[in-house]
Amino acid sequence: MNPILMLCRNSLALTKRAVVSVLTQDIPNTLYIINNDSTDGTTEWLAEEMLSWQPEQNYGPIRNWRFTPAKGVSASWNFGLDYLFGTAMCDKVLVVNNDVELHKSNYRWLDLDGGPFVTGVSTDDAMAIHDGWARVKRPNPDFSNFLIRRDVWEKVGKFDESMILYCSDGDYHLRMHQAGIEAYTIGIPFYHYASGTLKSAEPNEKATILRQADLDRDTFERKWGCKMGSPEYYALFDIAARQSGAAPGATAGF
């Protein structure tokens, strides 16, 4: 079975659309959801879906964990991937946000590419996922929809949980690059309602998220000596590439 890991924190309307796009992929899959203490009906809806979902064409049931209090993004990714690569002994995992909608062939094409860390490319055009697309390999991985294989997890390790909500994706991309692992997008589009959790949060929670984002950016800068997304950040990929003999120019998506 092809496992898919999805994180969610509220944003029920978006989660429903994301789940539909997972369950209508053109290859069988099993969806694992990490529900980070949602308070908007997501918990109840997931319970109903788990009872009512009738697997077809070898699709597995929806499975979910609920955490109270909520885990951060990095800790949630680590928990899910630890389980799927360790306990469940999966060879690869597709990881998606709950504010995305996938092309129906998303999983199949990311897997068929065969790369160690392969992603789609986000778009704000909801119709793009229903159109044809051209494969264009670019060193710009997008961590809202990525396929990671077991050997990457074993070689690079976990996401850095000192960056709780933000920036651990850029950190992981740098660590993959330093380990000689190529991470890239193949250009298959997915619709991304970016920052869905932030946009749907209540004012107090939104302020908390924004404060944590600043703290995570500071943590990243202390670790790497530059701000994520800055020219100095991108230069780190060129430096690592020159030291390893790889092609320079990799960038991170976030």
Contact between residue 47 and residue 16 where contact means Cβ atoms under 8 Å apart: no
Handedness of CA 161, 167, 172, 175 (dihedral sign): negative
- In angstroms, the CA 126 to CA 4 distance is 21
pLDDT tens digits, residue range 89-144? 999 999 999 999 999 999 999 999 999 999 999 999 999 999 889 999 999 899 99
- Domains of the chain, by residue range, sit at 2-244
246 contact partners, CB below 8 Å, separation of at least 6: 177, 180, 182, 240
Helix (H) or strand (E) holding 151: helix 150-156
pLDDT tens digits, residue range 164-214? 999 999 999 999 999 999 999 999 999 998 655 666 667 787 888 899 999
- In angstroms, the CA 159 to CA 76 distance is 9
The values of phi and psi at residue 252, to 5°, are: -105, 145
Please state the pTM of the whole predicted model.
Answer: 0.89
- In angstroms, the CA 12 to CA 99 distance is 10
Rama region for 73: left / alpha / beta (φ>0; ψ in -120 to 50; rest): alpha
- In angstroms, the CA 106 to CA 176 distance is 23
Count of H helices and E strands in the chain?
Answer: 9, 8
The CATH classification number of 2-244 equals 3.90.550.10
- In angstroms, the CA 214 to CA 174 distance is 20
pLDDT tens digits, residue range 129-166? 998 899 999 998 999 999 999 999 999 999 999 999 99
